[in-house]
Every structure is written in C-alpha cells, then in structure tokens.
Amino acid sequence: MSSLTSPEVGARVLPARPSASGGIERWVERHLRWILPAPAVIAMALLLVVPLVYTTYLSLHEWYASSVLGPRFIWLDNYAQLFIRDERFGPAFRVTLIFTVGAVALTVTLGLGIAHLLIRNFPGRGLVRTLVLLPMIATPVAMALVWMTMMSPTIGVLNYVLRSVGLAGSAWVSSPRSVIPSLLLVETWMWTPMTALICLAGLATLPSEPFESARVDGASGWQIFWHLTLPFMRSTLVVAALFRTIDALKVFDIVYVMTEGGPGFASETLNLYVFQTSFKYLNLGYASALIVVFFTLILGASMLLIQVRRSPL
C-alpha cells in the first residue's frame, strides 16, 4: 500500500505508536522548538541575567563593600563621573580598542593561513595539527610568565636572538611604546591556534565540487582563494572574528601578569581598570557603572559583527 502513496501521505497513514504517553509525546513534539533549548536558557538566565540586574542596580549606588554602610542611592552620579571627570576611562578605552583591532586582525588572518597549510595532505599531518594546538591548551598565566622571561630586556632570549642577527634589542613590555605590540605578540601566539582550528573546521566542510571545477577551468590558486574560499568561509571567519573580538575586548590575564597595566597606565585595558576599581579601591558602585558601560561596548561590537554575518556580501 505504501508503495502506491506518495511519501508524504505514507507518513500520515502510518499508525501512531500505541502508548499511554501518546498525548505527552505529541505535546512534546509540538513544542519541541521551545523544549530543546529551555534547560540551557533557564540555566543561563539564572547564572547571568540575575547577576547582571544586580550589577545594574548597584551602578546607581555608592558602596564601598562595607556591611556597616549599605549601598546609597545616588542616581546617575557614577555615570556622570565616568564620562566627564574620569581621567583613566578614556585611555583605557583607547588601549582596549587598539588591542582588540590588532588582536582580531592578526589572529584571524594567521589562523586562516595556518588552516590552509594544515588542510593539505602531507606526511605527519596529524602530529603537526596536534602540535599547532598546543599554545591554546597551555595556560595563559603560565605562558604569560614564560613570555615575560623571554622578553626580559637584559637576559631574555628574544633580545639575544635579535642581537645575534644584528638588530637592536627591544624594551618589550617595559617601555610604553613597545608594550602594546609586545602584548599583541603574546595574544597572537596564544589565540591563533583557536582561530586556526575554527577555520580548519570551516575548510573541512567546504563542498569540493566548485573547487574541482574551478581547477579544471584553470583558475589560479589566488583566484580560487578570493572567489571561492573567502565567500564560502565568510560565516566561519565572522564567527572566529566574533569570538576573538569578545575575548580581546575582555583581555585581562596576560596584561595583568605581564604589565599590570603599566608602565604607568600605558597598557591598562578596561577590564583591568574595572578590576582595580572593584578589588583594589573596593569602589563597587562605581565599578558596577564601569561594568555596565563596558558590557554595552562589547554587546555593540558583537551586534555589529553579527549583522555582518547576516547581511549578503
């Protein structure tokens, strides 16, 4: 009988499984689009939204983490101070922005390049792929310390290498002029494997037919890269850039370990400034206002990238 009907009809003709839970099953089936993500959504709401609401509430208060003097409501004074009188906010904002743009550009470009190397077939590919991922698996604080010793202006191995090829050694993180590039070098080293991994996954899922026909038609490597790989990889690249943007805006560990925001305030990022405000000065109300602004900034940047992902080329 089913051979006579079209598949769609056949599906309806099939008898429903006779079971006591049939009603529940049908209900689940109908609302599956909400049931599947529900546990994750509830968990995130509890872990995230509630604390954020509390932080926003605190940002309208003055509170120095004291149990004797509770939070005092001061309207928008924290925000007024932040935008008008704060002399550390602006520079921290600029440092964060420069760092982020540099970090995203470097890690995504290099990541795509490395993924291109690793997608090929060559002897020892499995081993090389594992080795390339190692920096990502190493722990940021420990590796930041290793880079510190390598970047030591006097006994560091990097300056030794530079000098032995006839270049002048650098002051690395001890000079305001070279501190940001130095941190970018460490950031690039640490996170390029992640973008490479994402790009590798993207490259692996590319359909092979367009590439084969392009090769048959005699397209050059660059032509294939510009006209096929990049458009096909756009979504993957935007996701990689998105993750990197968010993480780079929030950069904390390597900066905290290597410079603590110094020399002076030359490498103080927003996250570092918020940290100092809340846990060094215990100015929790003001820190909360900073957090709200900081979060809005990250949210804005991410929305922009998501728009890029959605919009047609």
Partner 1 sequence: MSLSRGLRRGTFWCLLILTLAFLLFPLVWMALGSFKTQVDFMAYPPRWLFRPTLANYEKVLIGGDFLKFTWNSLVIAAGSTAMSLLLGVPAAYGIARYHQTRLGVAMLAARMAPGIAFLIPWFIVFSKLRMVDTYPAVMLTHMVVVLPLVIWVLVGFFEDLPRELEESGLIDGCSVLGVFRRIALPLARPGIVATAILGVNYPVALAATGGIPPYKWGLTEGSVLPTGITLASTGQFSGVPTIVNGEPPAFTVQATDSDSPA
Q: Is 110 or 180 the residue whose CB approaches partner 1 more closely?
A: 110
Q: HSE on the CB side for 272, CA within 13 Å?
A: 24
Q: Does 231 bind partner 1 (CB under 8 A)?
A: no
Q: Does 306 bind partner 1 (CB under 8 A)?
A: yes
Q: Is 69 or 101 the residue whose CB approaches partner 1 more closely?
A: 69
Which residue from 155, 165, 216, 313 is in contact with partner 1, where contact means CB under 8 A? 155
Which residue from 149, 175, 213, 223 is in contact with partner 1, where contact means CB under 8 A? 149
Q: Does 44 bind partner 1 (CB under 8 A)?
A: yes
Which residue from 242, 261, 268, 285 is in contact with partner 1, where contact means CB under 8 A? 242
Q: Does 65 bind partner 1 (CB under 8 A)?
A: yes
Q: Does 74 bind partner 1 (CB under 8 A)?
A: no
- Among residues 98, 256, 112, 301, the alpha carbon closest in space to that of 181 is found at 98
From the centroid of its chain, how far is CA 63? 31
Please list every residue from 106 through 125 that binds partner 1, using CB under 8 A: 113-114, 117, 120, 122
The secondary element (H helix, E strand) that includes residue 73 is strand 72-73
| Shortest Cβ 75–partner 1 spacing (Å) | 21
| Interface size with partner 1, residues (CB under 8 A) | 95
Rg of the chain on CA atoms, in Å:
26
Q: Does 295 bind partner 1 (CB under 8 A)?
A: yes
Please list every residue from 207 through 226 that binds partner 1, using CB under 8 A: none
Which residue from 89, 99, 189, 286 is in contact with partner 1, where contact means CB under 8 A? 189
Rounded to 5°, the CA angle 232-234-239 comes to 130
Q: Does 24 bind partner 1 (CB under 8 A)?
A: no
Determine contact, residues 111/196, Cβ cutoff 8 Å. yes
DSSP three-state, residue 72? strand
Q: Does 279 bind partner 1 (CB under 8 A)?
A: yes
Determine the Cα–Cα distance for residues 235 and 264; give it in Å rounded to an integer.
40
Torsion on CA atoms 189, 111, 95, 300, rounded to nearest 10 = -140
